[in-house]
A and B are shown apart, each in its own frame.
Chain A
Amino acid sequence: MVANVKDKAVIVGIGNTEFSKNSGVSELSLAVQAIKVALDDAGLKPSDIDGMATFTMDTNDEIEVARALGVGELSFFGRSHYGGGAATGTLHQATMAVATGMAETVVCFRALNGRSGHRFSGGVAGAITTADAIHWGWYTPFGLMTPASWVGMFTQRWMHITGVTKDALYEVAKTTRDYGANNPAAFFYGQTFDRTEYDAQRSICDPLQLFDCCQESDGGSAVIVTTPERARDLAQPGVAIRGVAQCAAKDQEQMTSFYREEFAGIPEMEFAATDVYAMSGMQAGDIDAAVIYDAFSPIVLWQLEAWGFCGFGESGDFVLDGALRPDGRLPCNTHGGQLSEAYIHGVNGIVEATKLVRGTSVNQPAKQIDHALVTSGVGIPTGGAILGKL
């Protein structure tokens, strides 16, 4: 069955806070700042919001956000689980709410003190009190407990099977950094690197070195979604959601699906791609640019394969042809990605994908961008969306 949501929900406002390593403010403050920017962008008031969508990991209660911001009644609030896998999950929630009339205007947000507060690189060894602890307990005694270590494990096998080398990982990291170096909002603004510097970085978890890993950031991002009718009266050109999916696949674990017959692949993302293409009536060939979740450089490669931009094992050649660069087949992570702009769990990526369709990215490609892909995190239940002009 194909979901009947195409073009029934429209992005009309986007906002980011300043990104930093130490915000000096609460996560609630970051959330309401980002939402206020998005409301101003759309030409809406807080009282226009009647729905909210965020991550289960977000610490900001919807009612607290509503009170702080001056939102009135809420008729919808839905959360998506699994860390960065929830990035476009927020769009998924908002789209369903708006398309069905459960809410008219939904704000998707994510705000975190990812560097000065809880750090993901610290791993899952902290004081965990949830049932997740049992799951992580299969890894913590052996020391396999950080996102980099799980992704390192997948990457080693995927490189072994496909023969893709570090040249491709470098190309992803380097292209992304070059975009970030030209984005004043990016942490690495003005700071690029070359192959010698890339190779000289310390190893985190083989084969991942420092520049293959995203930063940890403080900041917030927000996206306002409403109906096409309402969107036409607002301040910005609307960016319609052509399709949006959320997917878990067989034998799925949270970051550690090591028990599949073959774990050099991301079937949950292939599932998401199939779903989004069916909803939108589109194919990989119709997509002009992308924001592909980049907590680590190799996961961009796997997603290029999952979304059908190239075949399995061909993503190395695809990117080494310059596909991700400004004049390439698929300009990608033009804000600098999470590797070089900020790690806001992919919601800054939705902001960037919206800008690409509006034509306002700081690194806007010369070619016409009618459709942009944006994806969620990898290794977990995940999702993606195709955005296009209203």
Chain B
Amino acid sequence: MTPEEHQLFEQKIYAYVGREVFSSQPAPDRINEAMIRHWAEAMGDKNPAYQDAEWAEQSMRGRLIGPPAMMYCWNQEGITAATKRSSDALTDMCDLFDQHGYSGVLGTNVKQEYFKEAGMGDQVFVDMIIDTISEQKATARGIGYFFESLATFSDQHGEKIGTQRFRVLKFIPAEGANSTVSSDEEALETPTRIASPRGHDNGWWWEAADEGRMLIQRCTACQTLRHPPRPMCGECQSMDWDSIESTMQGEVLSFTEIHHPKVPGYPSPLICAVIKMDEGTNFVSNLRGCEARDASIGMRVSGVMEQVDDKTMLPQFYPATQEA
């Protein structure tokens, strides 16, 4: 697209913000046991409030309810949607994206809010609008736009059951990448911290960290400590070295609290610090156990090796406890 064509395209796309997709659309089936059973089985949800009629009668509700998280299911289009999709604002907008090369689609977030429980025999009605469309973003998948639909679910009395925001990325698939959601593993895996690659000069250090030890490299010729590890001593050019285990005591030389960007797998906000170890070498790590406003340059810290996520063992530093 030329910049002018792109501008025109954006005008057309942004015209969809606020457009109605469904208005009081009734679900084809009332809330019923058979569909709840399928859903609960698939989700592994054994809550008796959904399926155990006897239990439910004794409960404070006095009746079976539909799983709140299932509210969007009742109005889902069936298999016919694949062949003969009704025309609505959402479908038209997606067609427009497709025609301009933004053919990739990735559901990124679902956010539900619940207001009222719906029970067996209730009928669910849905209202939906296209709520927001982002500016164009460069993402790992490719360049695209995030849009958010807002669905409001009500019962046959017109009372609000809940709302659902569904955020979707429409993007130009990067060459070679899949245009739809790739593997389930990728979608489901809990993100972890980005590990260091391990090579000849640093692999030993990370392997010791995995085992719960923080080491400092030492030149065996002149005894100079060095960090980060490297193959030669800058003081005497010896290539012979061993290591010592750090006491993990030190003082803060500087710190910064990271607010932006938020990276999956990392706490936010997060304090990073340069620490002068008592051994004399500097080390970059996280400062934990205190707020940024209570951190200060010169403060004493004490470290521990800590499993920070499923895959990562790291030195982490805390304000040193006052010693007598």
Contact = CB atoms under 8 A, between A and B. Distances in A.
Contacts of B270: 143
A24 interface: yes
Given A24-B1, A123-B261, A258-B282, A153 B202 contact: no
A142 B259 contact: no
Indicate the member of B255, B261, B314 with the most A CB atoms within 10 Å.
B261
Contacts of B32: none
B194 interface: yes
Interface in B188-223: 193-199, 201-202
A134 B260 contact: no
A259 B227 contact: yes
B263 A206 contact: no
Contacts of B138: 115-119
B2 interface: yes
A206 B253 contact: no
Contacts of A155: 256
Contact of B257 (A121, A134, A135, A203): A203
Interface in A127-166: 131, 133-146, 148-149, 152-157, 160
Contacts of B314: 141-142
B285 interface: yes
A144 B255 CA distance: 10
A370 B284 CA distance: 45
A205 B260 contact: yes
A24 B6 contact: yes
A37 interface: no
A153 B286 CA distance: 12
B143 A205 contact: no
B56 interface: no
Contact of B195 (A131, A137, A156): A137
Contacts of A153: 254-256, 272, 274
Contacts of B267: 143
A201 to B, nearest CB: 11
Nearest to A264: B254
A115 B199 CA distance: 32
A202 B255 contact: no
Interface in A249-278: 256, 258-259, 263
A144 B284 contact: yes
Contacts of B297: 156-157, 160
Contacts of A207: 256
Contact of B258 (A137, A149, A259): A149
A115 B272 CA distance: 26
B194 A141 contact: yes
Contacts of A285: none
A53 to B, nearest CB: 28
A202 B270 CA distance: 15
Given A116-B143, A123-B261, A204-B259, A142 B272 contact: yes
Contacts of B201: 134
Given A116-B143, A203-B257, A143 B272 contact: yes
A258 B274 contact: yes
A46 to B, nearest CB: 24
A191 B64 CA distance: 59
B194 A125 contact: yes
B18 interface: no
A154 B281 CA distance: 17
A259 B282 contact: yes
B151 to A, nearest CB: 30
Contacts of A204: 259-260
B39 interface: no
A155 B297 CA distance: 12
B102 to A, nearest CB: 14
Interface string B283-303: 011100000100001000000
Contacts of B198: 137
A142 B272 CA distance: 7
Contact of A160 (B143, B194, B254): B254
A144 B272 contact: yes
Indicate the member of B201, B256, B292 with the most A CB atoms within 10 Å.
B256
B194 A140 contact: yes
A256 B256 CA distance: 13
Contact of A206 (B136, B193, B256): B256
B274 A263 contact: yes
Contact of B256 (A119, A202, A205): A205
A205 B274 contact: no
Contacts of B2: 24
A22 interface: yes
Contacts of B272: 139, 142-144, 149, 153
B14 interface: no
27 contacts: A22-B136, A115-B138, A117-B138, A125-B194, A137-B197, A138-B228, A139-B272, A140-B193, A140-B196, A141-B312, A142-B272, A143-B263, A143-B267, A144-B272, A145-B194, A145-B263, A152-B258, A153-B254, A157-B274, A160-B297, A205-B257, A205-B260, A206-B256, A206-B257, A206-B292, A259-B281, A263-B254
Interface of B: 1-3, 6, 136, 138, 143, 193-199, 201-202, 227-228, 253-261, 263, 266-267, 270, 272, 274, 281-282, 284-286, 292, 297, 312, 314
Interface of A: 22, 24, 115-119, 121-123, 125, 131, 133-146, 148-149, 152-157, 160, 202-207, 256, 258-259, 263
Given A145-B263, A156-B254, A206-B259, 6 more contacts: A24-B3, A138-B228, A142-B193, A143-B267, A143-B270, A155-B256
